[in-house]
Amino acid sequence: MLKVKVDNYDDIGIFLKEEKKIFFGTIITGVKYAWKNKLDRVEVAEFSIEDTETIVNIDIEEEDWEESLYLALYYYEDIEEYEKCVEVKDLITNIYG
């Protein structure tokens, strides 16, 4: 799970736009782990907002794993990281047949 400190809520969106590679990598790792360990949720990121006690969590429930993996696949295709594409496709096949 990613643990990120940000200054405000807007910085969460900025992080997600600018750090897609890290974010999608964490999703893939999390889904693999959750699937192998029969968990029903992936904890992807925890954002702590500076000067507050606010924590924003991004979790993915099992019913949303497939969509998240396809989003990761499209991202890796777009940046032409084909080894990651194969990894994601294999994971989708292993989980969903």
Amino acid at 20: K
SS3 of 44-87: EEEEEECCCCCEEEEEEEHHHHHHHHHHHHHHHHHCCCHHHHHH
**Residue 43 has what pLDDT?**
96
- Residues 32 and 94: their CA atoms lie apart, in Å, by 10
- pTM reported for the whole predicted model: 0.93
pLDDT tens, residue order, the chain (97 aa): 999 999 999 999 999 999 999 999 999 999 999 999 999 999 999 999 999 999 999 999 999 999 999 999 999 999 999 999 999 999 999 999 9
Identify the sign of the CA torsion 32, 19, 7, 58.
Answer: negative
Q: Per-domain residue ranges for the chain?
A: 2-96
**Residue 30 has what pLDDT?**
97
Question: What is the DSSP code (8-state) at residue 19?
Answer: T
